[in-house]
Structure 1
Amino acid sequence: MSSLAQQRDKRNYQLHLLFTRQEFEECLKQIDKVLEETDGLCEYAIYIKALIMRHRGKIQESLALFQQATAINPHNVANLKQVGRSLYLLGKHKAAVDVYEEAQKFGAPDWEIMHNKGLCYMYLKQYDRAIESFRVAIDIQPHDSTFLQLGKVYGMMDDYSQAINVYMEALEHSPENPELLTTLGLLFLRTNDNPRAFEYLTTSLTHDPRNPRTILAAGSIIQDQSDMDVALVKYRVAAVATPNSPQLWNNIGMCFFGKQRYIAAIACLKKALYLGPFEWIISYNLGLVHLHTGQYASAFHFFSASVNLKPDFAHSYMYLAVTLARLDDYDNACAAYDKAIQMAGMPGEPVFHLNYAILQYQSKQHDAAKVQLHAFRALWGDMDEEARRADPEIGEQAALLGQLLGM
């Protein structure tokens, strides 16, 4: 090896050492010296400087430097990958794909290139191409991060069965990965398979007992089973790690609501609303608590906010109608019920029609009440016996209203 090559390798090693130690100021001083000596043609020095710029959040500057390094050595795949990465971070996903495709022409198949191409296609909403890229990346080298992104793409396409298959496949490679276990648990929760969701979430907690995301999901299942005290114990652990999580304070608030501690419920939900003002479910839950405590003006305010944030949730309109009825606003209550029934679609929600029938009866609109009660009976009759037994109070109210209307 020539003395010139030895000197270059020693210099590059020094830059590498300073960079890995994160002594960035000293590293940049040395880089400036090197670039001055080499008339700005030292590829490695430019590459390291670009990495430091990116680390400091100067993405545009880092891109220009990586492009400069690529101009010096156009066939260096490492430079091309970093150019693609910088373009991706700047949101220029189409340009990033073009660079990754150029990088593919050199060297062996590369997992990183295919994974990052998949990410770009995902943000471009070209989901089929994203799936194809992630699949090729997995074939080259299975990585948990690629499995997670592939499952995410299927989730965006509402293809939950395929997403579950992907995560199951990932667990064959990494059976103890808490993030995979939690993601799979959340997916089962989304598909209303609570027993399997709880199984995977508790398995995840055995490997990472303080993961706030997992605790929150497991706690919500426990909460759905009306075991509020156990759920609150879980949430207490999560609150240490994520004290500013709006979802956490929302769930704690609803636990207190379930325990009939309404002041504590409202305090927690208002904290959640402060932390997440655009989370529609928090406004919805505040509406429920205020409706339950007879604070109808406040309930109207929160249900209205919930409807504005998520206008396609039928139950918000139903509870808004109940609130308006309590405020003696008959016309707007009827309009809200009509909207709720329209939003529910087919086959429909029996309780919407029953509540509407009760309002019509109380307003002495007996013929209209009979129409709604008839619609309720048709839907209620189509439900299975177990579903009807789950809420016997609804059947009793309908029977009593039927007697009053002579039906």
Structure 2
Amino acid sequence: MINIIGCHKNTQSEHVADVSQENREEVKQIFNKAAHLHQEGHHDEALMAYDEVIAIDGDYVEAYYEKGRVLYMMQDYDKAIQILDTAIELKSDYADAYFYKGMIYLALEQYDNALQALDKTLLMDDKKTLAYINKARSLQGLKKYHEAIQTLDLAIEQAPEDDSLYYEKAIIYSLMHHFDDAIKSLAISIEINPNNAKFAKSDPAFSQLSLLEDYQILLGIEDKGSRDDAVDNNKPQDESP
């Protein structure tokens, strides 16, 4: 399965509702309460709080977006898509809403749909590095490896010091059996962030690469047993609270 990388910055209310000042303050308080509940992992309570916000102000676009994020965390993907679509109806250039749609479709292995959503994200925010990574992973799922590499190269132009981009390139090159390129990319990733050597030792994406002497030298591996205690980095990452 293709892993998914997500991000989120804390959403504060930017919506100016056509409601009374009293209701506006109430909505803001409930919204902030919902965000706190989400951050603490109380998803059901967070959903109810976001629904309270929407009941008072049906145009509160951030509430729909945040509710979609909660549903994503709960793996209720169909409802999450519906809510995110509502957010997009209210705000057609909502790059983060498209980004989360892309994450959901990637989780569902609906790679073409993921690409459509992520392309819209990048059309609005071409510096969103994680959108490039998830787009590359969608292309990887479709076995369009060359396009995935091109996508990551575009991201590297935006963020040349982002170690995760080179790590992703190493994975894709390894799948392509371009092992020299994979080792070069992994070496850059490790140079930027030495912790990636620890992650790479147990990453199943490098199972074939790990047989090569250059890989073992790069990671300082003396024998197969030295990899047993390595940390597993092959799981979805999400910077969301």
TM-score w.r.t. length of structure 2: 0.68
Alpha-carbon shift at residue 223 of structure 1 (Å): 1.3
- Name the counterpart of 1:248: 97
Identity score, percent: 11
Query: How do 1:155-304 and structure 2 match up within 5 A?
Result: 177-183=26-32, 185-186=34-35, 193-195=40-42, 199-200=45-46, 202-208=48-54, 209-304=58-153
Q: 1:354 aligns with which of 193, 202, 221?
A: 202
Alpha-carbon shift at residue 176 of structure 1 (Å): 6.0
Higher mean alpha-carbon deviation, 282-291 vs 253-262, is at 253-262
Query: How do 1:79-228 and structure 2 match up within 5 A?
Result: 177-183=26-32, 185-186=34-35, 193-195=40-42, 199-200=45-46, 202-208=48-54, 209-228=58-77
Query: How do 1:315-334 and structure 2 match up within 5 A?
Result: 315-334=164-183
Alpha-carbon shift at residue 336 of structure 1 (Å): 2.2
Residues in 1 aligned to 2:69 and 2:33: alpha-carbon distance in whole angstroms: 15
Alpha-carbon shift at residue 351 of structure 1 (Å): 4.0
- Name the counterpart of 2:221: 371
Which of the two has higher C-alpha Rg? 1
What is the alpha-carbon root mean square deviation over aligned residues? 3.8
TM-score w.r.t. length of structure 1: 0.43
Name the CA shift for 1:351/1:270 in 2 (closer, same or farther; >3 Å). Answer: same
- Name the counterpart of 1:167: none
Residues in 1 aligned to 2:103 and 2:136: alpha-carbon distance in whole angstroms: 12
Alpha-carbon shift at residue 323 of structure 1 (Å): 1.4
Q: Is the 8 A contact 2:174 2:209 kept in 1?
A: no
Alpha-carbon shift at residue 203 of structure 1 (Å): 1.4
Q: Is the 8 A contact 2:133 2:165 kept in 1?
A: yes
- Name the counterpart of 1:5: none
Name the CA shift for 1:289/1:332 in 2 (closer, same or farther; >3 Å). Answer: same
- List per-residue Cα deviations over 1:82-129 (Å, max 9, x = no partner): xxxxxxxxxxxxxxxxxxxxxxxxxxxxxxxxxxxxxxxxxxxxxxxx
Q: Is the 8 A contact 2:34 2:49 kept in 1?
A: no
Residues in 1 aligned to 2:142 and 2:86: alpha-carbon distance in whole angstroms: 30
Alpha-carbon shift at residue 298 of structure 1 (Å): 0.9
Name the CA shift for 1:334/1:215 in 2 (closer, same or farther; >3 Å). Answer: same
Q: Match of 2:103, as an amino acid?
A: M
Name the CA shift for 1:366/1:268 in 2 (closer, same or farther; >3 Å). Answer: closer
Q: Is the 8 A contact 2:31 2:53 kept in 1?
A: no
The DSSP-based 3-state class of the residue aligned with 1:177 is: helix
Higher mean alpha-carbon deviation, 174-183 vs 240-249, is at 174-183
> Which sections of structure 2, spanning at least 5 residues, go unmatched?
1-9, 11-21, 237-241
Residues in 2 aligned to 1:242 and 1:353: alpha-carbon distance in whole angstroms: 44
Q: Match of 1:378, as an amino acid?
A: D
Residues in 2 aligned to 1:259 and 1:361: alpha-carbon distance in whole angstroms: 29
- List per-residue Cα deviations over 1:233-282 (Å, max 9, x = no partner): 21122122012211111211222222222222212221222222222222
